[in-house]
Chains A and B, each alone.
Chain A
Amino acid sequence: MITAGRIVRLAERDRAEVYFFLDGQICSALAGDTVLTAMLASGHALRKSEFGPEPRAGFCLMGACQDCWVWQDEGPRIRACSAFVTQGMRLHTTQPESWT
């Protein structure tokens, strides 16, 4: 599967497809993808930095750097590297209005 985002799938491509919403757009991922993998297979960033102009896309992938927190429509913020994507999940790269 050629992805539109940052990530290149090199192995384990034979998994069931999962659909989720990224900033309101429907996107597909594979069952077993982390939220980080799923989001970066469709885009180039997870969120904007609060302290600078640059987008962020995670850093350590082991739950230590806290660079990859993203928002959901409902439910708590999640660390994208350690949560798995689920069918119908609604993810956001910016804070949704319902949060403010």
Chain B
Amino acid sequence: MSETSSQRVVIVGAGPAGIRAAAALVEAGLHPVVIDEGHCAGGQIYRRPPAGFTRTAEQLYGPEAPKARALHMLFDRLAKEGRLTHCAASSVIAAQEGRLHVLGEGRVQMIGYDRLILATGASDRVAPVPGWQNAGVYSLGAAQIALKAQGVALGRRIVLMGSGPLLTLVGAQLVKAGADVAAVLDTSPWRQQMRGAVWGLAARPLVALRGMVLRARLGGRYHADVTLERIEADEQGVAAMRWRDPGGREHRTPCDMIGMGWHLRAETHLADLVGCTFTYDEQWRQWLPRTDQMGRAGNGVYLAGDGVRLLGADGAEIAGRLAAAACLADLGIPASATGVDLRKLARLERFARGLAYAFPWPAAMARALPDEAVVCRCENVTAGAVRQSVDFGGGEANRVKSLSRVGMGRCQGRYCQLAAVELVAAQAGCAADAVGRFRGQAPVRPAPVGAFLRDG
């Protein structure tokens, strides 16, 4: 075995980026270890239902079925042939001195690496709406996962709200599956969506047109430029959504389930733990790890997919190949040419810019939250508590975190940080990036103490 092929390369995440990175490394003669939280590879977008489910790839993934099938078959083949090691249903909870602490089957094991490719993906970018702590409020991604991986709707009468491609897609998928979707409430104004659509059509005409067809299928359920007022609840959970149309007229839509989301938030906790530097991205209104074009973050760490640049599944496949190519180049192993992939990625970047413009983050809504509204769902920290902590201790993210406990709950700020930053910026009278970001802390997923004890 040559010196380079004994290099331990570990990939975290087996979505489109992780799978493509793994395949490129295998092709070059390496044997990567792939750690993933899923029971089988595919990630969230190409998530597979459990054994015994019978819907076809076409039913599950629509026009993306060939891509999903290709990725699943590729990964399963490489795993079966023993050309990679797949740690399924396992979470990396910490990283220290070239070792990952991996939680799976109730215990923690150490996995060492020389090079690390993080393909940790993204989750819904959510903003608090008064009442969102009640049972029956879910992320848009959750509504889609429930349908795809379990064949269920999370309520009998559904309101979807937010903005972004997923809002339209999940709405259309639920309607098609026979769910009762009462309303789809988009906070983005038509005019802004139209301007964004011009970028989108220029960069990816088919994808943009497909989105418009799906939107048309929502018919009268769809409302643009709405103001989200509050979620009404009874003792069982969600009871109705209160909202206003662009004319200022008030509406009350009875429902028992709400799905919400404003595009995506990159999952960056592990990148933080391994020492990546971050920059505030004005376009996505969030902190993203810094890399070169190929995904190199330095110190033998590479990032690919939605965890670093929010380009969606197609972009993630390309970024996975590029990160692997960068890793191979740094190991002195010849890899395939990257020019075509880099050009494709640039086109997807243009498309993503159009999306970010068309479906903006509702900063003003977050800043105007009433004092009694819950910002952190984990510990019911209110907007008022966040504002008070700013008055007391100033407008720095981690100070606000320790004073108010916003971002300190079990999700570790994944679902409250971005809104909390807007609140802090408004209260302190500064820009969102001046507030800073919550430092990542290990373990990045809750881990039972017993898992460490058994490890000895």
Contacts and interface: CB of A to CB of B under 8 A. Distances in A.
A60 B142 contact: yes
Given A6-B154, A52-B133, A54-B135, A64 B179 contact: no
Interface string A71-87: 00000110000101000
B138 A54 contact: no
Interface in A30-47: 31-34, 37, 40-41, 44-46
B134 A7 contact: no
B268 interface: no
Contact of A32 (B53, B106, B178, B256): B53
Nearest to B147: A10
Given A32-B50, A55-B236, A62 B141 contact: yes
A61 B141 contact: yes
B307 to A, nearest CB: 12
Contacts of A58: 138, 142
B52 interface: yes
B192 interface: no
Interface in B134-166: 134-139, 141-142, 145-147, 149-156
A13 to B, nearest CB: 7
Interface in A9-56: 9-16, 31-34, 37, 40-41, 44-46, 49-52, 54-56
Nearest to A6: B155
Interface footprint category on A: 35 or more
Given A10-B152, A59-B415, A51 B55 contact: no
Nearest to A47: B135
A66 interface: yes
Contacts of B51: 32
A11 B142 contact: no
A8 B155 contact: yes
Interface of B: 37, 44, 49-55, 89, 91, 106, 123-124, 133-139, 141-142, 145-147, 149-156, 177-179, 233, 235-237, 256-257, 267, 374, 377-380, 409-411, 414-415, 445-446, 448, 450
**Top-7 shortest CB links A-B:** A12-B151, A11-B151, A66-B410, A57-B135, A61-B142, A51-B380, A32-B50
